[in-house]
Structure 1
Amino acid sequence: MITRIESTQNPRVKQWKKLQTKKERNKTGLFLIEGLHLIEEALKYKAYVKELIVREGTEYSLLDARDIDIFEVTEDIMNTISDTETPQGIAAVCGMKGPTPINIATAKLLLIDNVQDPGNLGTMIRTADAVGMDAVILGEGCVDLYNGKVIRSTQGSLFHIPIMDGNLDVWIKRLNVIGVPVFGTALEGARNFKEIEPHKHFALLVGNEGNGVDPKLLKLTDENLYIPIYGQAESLNVSIATGILLYHLRG
């Protein structure tokens, strides 16, 4: 069924607009995605997609949107609900993913501590997906997973890999008990990552853009690793460093 909405004062439009805030997303369990590619990825997992929002004149007939409520809206409405400068003309309301059971004894995990840049977090999730990691655990201080820029930076990987909030202290101690190696990232007291052999099962702990991983967490790891800098740069971007280490440890 297609419903046309023409007023920015429509209650449904106001609700869509509120989904730009973390408070409303957490309250409703819903979030907004924008752009054809993201929506195509979301529709592969239809249970997540609740509503499709299409700007008048935007082609969407090739999308498999059966049994989903479709709303045709004006350009003003699309501009109102979008958090991008140039809306692509199509958006969707999705439900948040529930908890996913993980066998941590045989898992490859990315643990993220206090990463605050949305682009970095989204890229790290996308990289973890590409590497074939089993889950991403977001520790205290991380930017909201359902922030619009995070979602766009994942390029759809948000829907492919389990991602959950968690107490990293607790997670690392659980991994310690069952013998899954946990590798931290640090500049001091660390080994060159090239000295470490690939592992079938492991966890990589990465941290904040400016301060790195919380020292208390680094004390719980099996090994802390660093990536050599051969040029004049002071450090690597955390998402780039994460990619290098994940691919090395994955083997």
Structure 2
Amino acid sequence: MYKHISSLQNPVIKRLLQLQEKSRARKKEGVFIVEGVREIQLAIKGGFRLKELYFAEELFPEIKVKDLVKDQEHPEITSLSAEVYNKIAYRGSTEGLLAVVITKDLGLQKLELLDKNLLILVAEAPEKPGNIGALLRTADAAKVDAILISNPKTDIFNPNIIRSSVGCVFTTKIATGTTSEIIEFLHHKKVAIYAAALQASKIYSEIDLTTSSAIVVGTEATGLSKEWLENSTQNIIIPMQGEIDSMNVSVAAGILIFEAKRQRQFK
């Protein structure tokens, strides 16, 4: 029999709301919130460990809970009334399942990669959760070896990122670091750096992307920093035929990454 919570004033519920809303609270505890069946399944498949699991039995039967956590190290399981669950549910359409998941170290030193023919997506200082989620979906769709976030402005385990990535935050290797650290990492791995930039650029389709390559994109507002441009193997550009000279960062990343996949015959 699981513990049951039916009061909105329960301290556990107040804590869960803090974890949903406050990056500081997540970092202090070393955990984050994942909501939804598919997202929790992807987190488990991605090697993340559930610390706690909350379910509304009216929406998600107890028998399914047992099946979901059968291979986990005994997470604490609590049932909630529908009213309480709807209070803490972040998404509008809910499935009655929410987990507190233990954070992983996203430092470059923890990133394990093969040393041949790598394809890496790098995003410098992305801030909008929707854009970060879309970048993660692109990385998953193209099955890149890793996505690296330099100078991150937003907590990668922000609920908005998990939601907008539809769980792809768990399906691709992710690491964060400063621009200098990531450049040093790429040089050490002998990965060519192709920076999406307007200056001194070649059209992206004219570049050989079949060897170990990192596609680097910046923000729509400011582009890439000088440090990336100075360390780029070659700047690349997507020709624009309209009135503006930039496009959404996730769209640009998708075009460039899938050109690399096309050249590699989608291997």
Structure 1-normalised TM-score? 0.90
Give the equivalent residue in structure 1 for 2:100: 93
CA–CA separation in structure 2 for the residues paired with 1:33 and 1:231: 40
**Structure 2 vs 1, CA of residues 45 and 246 (structure 1 numbering), >3 Å: closer, same or farther?**
closer
1:140-219 equivalences under 5 Å are 140-176=151-187, 179-219=190-230
Instruction: Indicate if the aligned counterparts of 1:196 and 1:249 stay in contact, CA closer than 8 A.
Output: no
CA–CA separation in structure 2 for the residues paired with 1:177 and 1:97: 23
What SS does the aligned partner of 2:68 have?
A: coil
- Aligned-residue CA RMSD (Å): 2.2
Compute the displacement of 1:158 (Å). Answer: 1.6
Give the equivalent residue in structure 2 for 1:31: 32
What SS does the aligned partner of 2:79 have?
A: strand
Instruction: Indicate if the aligned counterparts of 2:48 and 2:103 stay in contact, CA closer than 8 A.
Output: no
- Give the number of equivalent residue pairs: 251
**Aligned AA for 1:50?**
K
**Aligned AA for 1:96?**
T
Which 4+ runs in 1 deviate beyond 6 A? none
1:33-182 equivalences under 5 Å are 33-45=34-46, 47-60=48-61, 61-62=63-64, 63-66=67-70, 67-99=74-106, 100-103=110-113, 105-106=115-116, 107-176=118-187, 179-182=190-193
1:5 and 2:5 are equivalent in the alignment: yes
CA–CA separation in structure 2 for the residues paired with 1:92 and 1:58: 15
Give the equivalent residue in structure 1 for 2:250: 239
Structure 2 portions without partners, runs of 5+ = none
Compute the displacement of 1:233 (Å). Answer: 5.2
CA–CA separation in structure 2 for the residues paired with 1:14 and 1:231: 50
Structure 2-normalised TM-score? 0.85
Question: Which stretch has the larger CA shift, 90-99 or 27-36?
Answer: 90-99
CA–CA separation in structure 1 for the residues paired with 2:75 and 2:187: 45
